[in-house]
């Protein structure tokens, strides 16, 4: 098979595929034996052919797929007026902790965040197909160990977890993943504490740390007023 025909077959198969295709999947397209290196080289050439088009060919964790470029989103969104789900800060922080610290238990997530993790937050990420229980920690109660899925890598256009930026700060990690979600969902996640949305599919746990801080500020203000009154007296 000549190189141009090889490219044509691969391109057509990938455009028609519902899911990413691996090299082994693509080899099944041919009766003759095609070396993996030849297929990979052909895929790289197809990438180059589409470099200035509205679609692009990407290699993801589970294989190769065509997808629309980010620059085309504003036009394509007009075909699907329904809004994508919005994600609260609690959701993005939980996802970031799991992505960067996995495998991790729910208790460990709560220890890092400093607040209780709502079951709705975990369920939202599980329903989205982004996290799953991959085992149990050998300790009291044998809590589940959470990790990200291949679907998470695919949706955020990552080949491996090593593609995530190396960040030590938890807020920076949440912001980094939020940007990835923006690119995939086309809608900015809710990252400001205390904000709610009628479009939000799941109500997240209230971050009680804010309430504590607010009460402390009110106490300090009250003390200040009392001191001023005593001075006047």
Task: Enumerate residue ranges in the chain where pLDDT < 70.
Answer: 81-85, 182-233
Beta bridge partners of 146: 104, 133
Of 162, 107, 97, 108, whose CA–CA distance to 130 is shortest?
A: 97
> What is the CB neighbour count within 10 angstroms for residue 79?
6
Domains of the chain: 3-74 (1.10.10.10), 89-206 (1.10.10.10)
Q: What's the pLDDT score for residue 174?
A: 79
- SS3 of 148, please? strand
Phi and psi for 56 in degrees, rounded to 5? -140, 150
Gap between the Cα atoms of 64 and 16, Å rounded: 12
Q: The dihedral of CA 99, 103, 106, 111: what is its sign? A: negative
Q: What's the pLDDT score for residue 84?
A: 63
Asked if residues 92 and 174 have their Cβ atoms less than 8 Å apart, the reply is yes
Which helix (H) or strand (E) segment holds residue 100: the answer is: helix 89-101
Task: Respond yes or no on whether the N-terminal peptide bond of residue 103 is cis (omega within 30° of 0).
Answer: yes
**Each residue's pLDDT tens digit, 14-40:** 999 999 999 999 999 999 899 999 999
Q: What's the pLDDT score for residue 41?
A: 95
Q: Please, what is the end-to-end C-alpha distance for the chain in angstroms?
A: 99
Q: Find the length of the chain.
A: 233
Gap between the Cα atoms of 8 and 6, Å rounded: 5
Q: How many Cα atoms occupy the beta-carbon half-sphere of 174 within 13 Å?
A: 18
């Amino acid at each position: 098979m000549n190189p141009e025909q090889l490219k044509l077959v691969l391109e057509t198969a990938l455009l028609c595929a519902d899911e990413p295709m691996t090299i082994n999947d693509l080899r099944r397209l041919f009766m003759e034996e095609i070396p993996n290196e030849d297929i990979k080289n052909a895929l790289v050439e197809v990438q180059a052919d589409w470099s200035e088009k509205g679609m692009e060919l990407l290699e993801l964790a589970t294989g190769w797929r065509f997808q629309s470029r980010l620059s085309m989103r504003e036009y394509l969104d007009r075909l699907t007026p329904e809004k994508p789900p919005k994600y609260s800060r609690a959701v993005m922080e939980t996802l970031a902790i799991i992505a960067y610290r996995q495998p991790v238990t729910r208790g460990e997530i709560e220890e890092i965040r400093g607040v209780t993790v709502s079951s709705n937050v975990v369920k939202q990420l599980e329903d989205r197909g982004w996290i799953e229980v991959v085992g149990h920690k050998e300790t009291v109660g044998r809590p589940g160990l959470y990790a990200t899925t291949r679907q998470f890598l695919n949706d955020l256009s990552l080949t491996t977890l090593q593609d995530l930026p190396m960040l030590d700060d938890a807020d920076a990690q949440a912001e980094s993943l939020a940007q990835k979600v923006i690119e995939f969902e086309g809608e900015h996640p809710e990252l400001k504490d205390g904000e709610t949305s009628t479009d939000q599919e799941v109500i997240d746990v209230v971050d009680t740390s804010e309430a504590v801080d607010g009460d402390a500020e009110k106490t300090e203000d009250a003390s200040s007023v009392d001191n001023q009154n005593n001075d006047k007296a």
